[in-house]
């Protein structure tokens, strides 16, 4: 008996053979069958082979159209890695991503190509020019699957190249640990430049199920989306569920169609988990955890009804996937239990960052085996369960996105004429927001304009505040707690 392949393209092609006439994708008001999506992706793969030479990466504009989904499949089929570009990010950020990943060819709708050309792209494919004669039936397997860019403290985004082997290891676990069928209908809320979207696509297509893409305001209308689209498998950041809770949309029994619900990207509170379990009483609810560097998620915790008395009111991160190891680092020592920085090892851990050997060496530690130092502070209990306690550094999560406040400060520094910028995260009205302090009097409108050229909207500080001088602690170091207090209470 042949061992099943969990390579992402192989999973998709197995569904093409098994259920060619079932819907694989519903987007922009149209359903595309597995056979139709297979044909489009073969044409994209043929274009890559004919036009991209030996270049191992191709960018995909992340507007959620059939072109993007066929583009991702086609790039992978051609043996290349895809580099997703968020459609709402400024051209300056696209330029940085294209330069750092060494990409000039972009799969993008015609209306986005002028801005992409400004960002440095030079070769385009859109749906209207998608060739038919170049379609290929082959599927090449190479080392790299995709490159995701996350916030970096140096003022430039960090590029994380994710290997095909690492992605296959993730899919092998999830597709065997949880049952999905061709009648399932998966939500697809995540931006294609967010690595959790990779789960959406390939876990869905592994089962011959349908990937359902909401319209632009789908996050705000997600309860109606579940009902109207018959969603059976949900995946989102907890803050999206919290929005439903604030809108009083999580009424008991209101989402009985759901069979599975996954959450990842942020801490899941016990109160929110309780409300969700009551709203979706037929669903298995799972809290997933994992940085981009460890391929989508690497630990899991099933949420059991009645188990709400948890430390800090936060659902545990759970236990690592099989064949993976978690340790806590205290100084230079690694421990199986206790409190400290979480470090992870196993087949899903990636190799490092693009063009940043120093950062790679700092975070990917070789001590007998390869470890990734997450920067997350955890408690590992006697049962080996991981409990999230916070960050070791200043990194924060905004709507599931990792944000280094230092990236904002690094971009503002040259604009301040010798002044300084310090960005902190604060809690206001139950949500996390950023506040930036500067010690020179400048028009915030000018500073916001500079930030918008380089940063996505979710990274912009909610406020830019002036201080005569920055507060210092007893040892002469910046007192960030005083800044947070000022930003919170004025």
User: Mean pLDDT score of the chain, rounded to an integer?
Assistant: 90
- DSSP E strand boundaries for 225-369: 233-236, 260-263, 284-289, 299-303, 319-320, 325-330, 333-335, 338-345, 364-366
- CATH for 8-311 (3.10.20.30, 3.30.110.40, 3.40.50.12780, 3.30.499.10): 3.40.50.12780
Contact 69, 12 (CB under 8 A): no
The pLDDT of residue 117 is above 80: yes
Mean pLDDT in residue range 1-24 = 90
Lowest-confidence pick of 15-24, 221-230, 313-322? 221-230
**What's the pLDDT band for 127 if we cut at 50, 70, 90?**
confident
- Using pLDDT thresholds of 50, 70 and 90, give the confidence band for residue 387: very high
Q: Distance (Å, rounded) from C-alpha 407 to C-alpha 425?
A: 13
Query: SS3 of 411, please?
Result: helix
At 389-441, the pLDDT tens digits run: 887 777 788 877 878 888 888 889 888 877 888 898 888 766 788 999 998 88
Q: How far is the CA of 294 from the CAs of 289, 379, 416, in angstroms?
A: 10, 19, 37
Task: Report the first-to-last Cα separation within the chain, whole angstroms.
Answer: 68
Nearest to 98 by CA among 152, 55, 45, 59: 59
pLDDT at 86: 94
Among residues of the chain, what percentage have pLDDT more than 70?
A: 95
Q: Are 22 and 182 in contact (CB under 8 A)?
A: yes
pLDDT of 474 strictly over 80 = no
pTM score, whole prediction: 0.85
CATH architecture of 404-489: 2-Layer Sandwich (3.30)
pLDDT higher than 60, residue 80 = yes
Please, are residues 241 and 279 in contact by the beta-carbon 8 Å criterion?
no
Rounded to whole angstroms, the Cα distance separating 324 from 371 reads: 10
Domain boundary assignment for the chain = 8-311, 404-489
- Rounded Cα gap, residues 223 and 212, in angstroms: 14
- What ranges in 332-400 are assigned the alpha helix state H? 357-363
User: Which residue(s) pair with 455 in the sheet?
Assistant: none
Read off the pLDDT of each residue in 174-199 and give the average, rounded to a whole number: 96
pLDDT of 253: 95
**CA angle, 317 then 156 then 391, to 5°:** 25
Both structure tokens of 350: 């990636």
Checking if the pLDDT of 154 tops 70, the result is no
The dihedral through the CA atoms of 438, 441, 443, 449 has a sign that is negative
Is the pLDDT score of 211 beyond 60? yes
Residue 138 CA to residue 325 CA, distance in Å, equals 36
Phi, psi dihedrals of residue 231, rounded to the nearest 5°: -65, 130
Paired residues of 162 in beta bridges = 146
- With 50 as the cut, is the pLDDT of residue 149 above it? yes
Sign (positive or negative) of CA dihedral 381, 387, 391, 395:
positive
Q: Is the pLDDT of residue 83 over 90?
A: yes
Q: How confident is the model at residue 1 (pLDDT cuts 50, 70, 90)?
A: very low
Q: Tell me, what's the pLDDT at 472? A: 73
Under 8 Å between Cβ of 322 and 299: no
- Cα gap 207→184, rounded to integer Å: 8
Res 283: pLDDT: 96
Rounded distance between C-alpha atoms, residue 405 and residue 400, angstroms: 15
User: What pLDDT is recorded for position 218?
Assistant: 61
Structure confidence at residue 366 (pLDDT): 78
Q: Which residues contact 358 (CB under 8 A, 6 or more apart)?
A: none
Report the pLDDT value the prediction gives residue 317, as an integer from 0 to 100: 97
Rounded Cα distance between 457 and 95, Å, is 16
Q: pLDDT tens-digit profile of 272-293?
A: 999 999 999 999 999 999 999 9
Taking only the tens place, the pLDDT of each residue in 342-380 is: 999 999 999 899 988 888 988 898 777 889 999 998 999
The values of phi and psi at residue 306, to 5°, are: 90, -15
Specify the pLDDT at position 394.
73
pLDDT of amino acid 338: 94
Task: Output 180 or 49, whichever has higher pLDDT.
Answer: 180
Q: How many CB atoms lie within 10 A of CB 77?
A: 27
pLDDT at 358: 87
**DSSP states of 375-410 as a string?**
EEEEEE-TT--EEEEEESSS-EEETTEEE-HHHHHH
């Amino acid at each position: 008996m042949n061992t099943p392949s969990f390579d992402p393209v192989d999973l998709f092609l197995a569904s093409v053979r098994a259920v060619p006439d079932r819907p694989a994708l519903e987007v922009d008001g149209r359903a595309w069958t597995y056979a139709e999506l297979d044909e489009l992706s073969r044409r994209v793969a043929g274009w890559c082979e004919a036009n991209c030479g030996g270049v191992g990466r191709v960018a995909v504009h992340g507007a959620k159209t059939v072109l993007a989904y066929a583009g991702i499949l086609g790039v992978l089929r051609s043996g290349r890695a895809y580099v997703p570009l968020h459609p709402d990010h400024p051209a300056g950020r696209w330029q940085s991503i294209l330069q750092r990943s060494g990409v000039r060819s972009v799969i993008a709708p015609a209306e986005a190509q002028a801005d992409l050309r400004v960002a440095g792209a030079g070769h385009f494919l859109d749906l209207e020019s998608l060739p038919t004669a170049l379609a290929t039936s082959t599927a090449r397997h190479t080392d790299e699957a995709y490159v995701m860019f996350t916030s970096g403290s140096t003022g430039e985004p960090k590029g994380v190249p994710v290997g095909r082997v690492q992605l296959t290891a993730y899919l092998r676990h999830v597709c065997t640990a949880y049952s999905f069928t061709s009648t399932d209908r998966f939500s697809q809320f995540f931006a294609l430049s967010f690595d959790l979207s990779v789960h959406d696509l390939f876990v869905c297509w592994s089962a011959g199920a349908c990937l359902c893409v909401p319209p632009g305001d789908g996050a705000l209308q997600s309860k109606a989306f579940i009902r109207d689209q018959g969603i059976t498998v949900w995946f989102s950041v907890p803050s999206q569920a919290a929005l439903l809770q604030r809108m009083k949309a999580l009424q008991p029994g209101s989402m009985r169609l759901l069979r599975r619900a996954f959450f990842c990207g942020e801490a899941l509170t016990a109160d929110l988990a309780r409300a969700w379990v009551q709203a979706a009483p037929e669903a298995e609810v799972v809290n997933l955890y994992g940085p981009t560097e460890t391929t989508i998620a690497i630990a899991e915790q099933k949420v059991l009804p009645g188990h709400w008395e948890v430390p800090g009111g936060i659902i545990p991160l759970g236990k690592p996937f099989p064949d993976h190891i978690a340790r806590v680092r205290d100084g230079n020592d690694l421990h199986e239990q206790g409190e400290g920085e979480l470090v992870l090892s196993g087949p899903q851990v990636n190799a490092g960052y693009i063009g940043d050997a120093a950062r790679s060496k700092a975070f990917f530690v070789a001590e007998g085996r390869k470890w990734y130092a997450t920067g997350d502070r955890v408690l590992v209990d006697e049962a080996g369960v991981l409990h999230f306690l916070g960050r070791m550094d200043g990194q924060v999560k905004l709507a599931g996105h990792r944000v280094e406040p230092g990236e904002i400060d690094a971009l503002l520094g040259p604009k301040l004429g010798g002044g300084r910028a310090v960005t902190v995260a604060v809690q206001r009205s139950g949500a996390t927001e950023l506040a930036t302090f500067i010690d020179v009097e400048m028009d915030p409108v000018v500073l916001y304009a500079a930030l918008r050229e380089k940063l996505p909207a979710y990274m912009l500080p909610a406020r830019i505040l002036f201080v005569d001088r920055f507060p210092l602690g007893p040892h002469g170091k910046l007192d960030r707690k005083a800044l947070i207090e000022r930003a919170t209470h004025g």
